[in-house]
Amino acid sequence: MNNFMNIVGIWALPAMVVSIVVFGLFKKVKIFDCFIKGAKEGLVTVYNLLPTITGLVVAITMLKASGGMELIAKLFSPVSHLLGIPQEVTPMALISPVSGGGSLSLFESVLKEYGPDSFLGRVGSVLMGSTDTTLYAVTVYFSAVGIKKTRHTLYAGLLADFTSFILSSFFVRLTLY
């Protein structure tokens, strides 16, 4: 079975590209012109998103470098303790809605320090798999298509992240018993 999956993995992308080209030829579409048009639109999208992404990266970097993240984690530590959430993963949960890369680097440090099979490593793993970069997604994608009012999107996304934050520790504790 593993060998079959390796073969499928190797041939999936070339088969997809060939099928797109054959379908385009069958439909008499100018394939290269469509590709160039799509590449131009992609570059325009990247150009429009770059200031937003740059601002988010700078803000996250400044927050981490200034020690602000540790301060925020200490402020939330009574709530984390009350909910049974380890203080070591609290910074990861706080930065996750803003920056996937930032939470990934914090997750990596938890894994290096405590190990992937430890309680903290498992809680961090569940947290990484169940949360999303809500603020990042709303900021970048909504601004890319010109949406100004997010209505309930932000609240629902942050509530889902908070729920994942609480339940990640709870479900890992359940698996230990």
pLDDT of residue 14: 93
Tokens coding 122: 């498992």
User: Distance (Å, rounded) from C-alpha 1 to C-alpha 27?
Assistant: 36
- Is the separation of the CB atoms in 86 and 120 below 8 Å? yes
User: Distance (Å, rounded) from C-alpha 78 to C-alpha 48?
Assistant: 41
pLDDT tens-place string over residues 107-130? 888 899 999 999 999 999 998 888
Exposed, middle or buried, 175 (CB in 10 Å: 0-12/13-18/19+)?
exposed
Residue with tokens 């008499």: 28
CB atoms within 10 A of CB 160: 15
pLDDT tens-place string over residues 46-98? 888 788 778 877 877 788 788 887 788 888 888 888 888 888 888 888 888 88
Q: Using the Cα atoms of residue 168, residue 175, residue 84 and residue 65 in order, give the sign of their dihedral.
A: negative
Closest CA to 71 of 54, 90, 56, 58: 90
User: Distance (Å, rounded) from C-alpha 10 to C-alpha 2?
Assistant: 12
In order, the DSSP letters of 69-116 are HHHHHHHHHHHHHHHT--GGGHHHHHHTTT-HHHHHHHHHHHHHHH-T
For the CA atoms of the chain, what is the radius of gyration? 21
Q: Is the pTM of this model over 0.85?
A: no
User: Distance (Å, rounded) from C-alpha 148 to C-alpha 171?
Assistant: 37
The pLDDT confidence band at residue 165, using thresholds 50, 70 and 90, is: confident
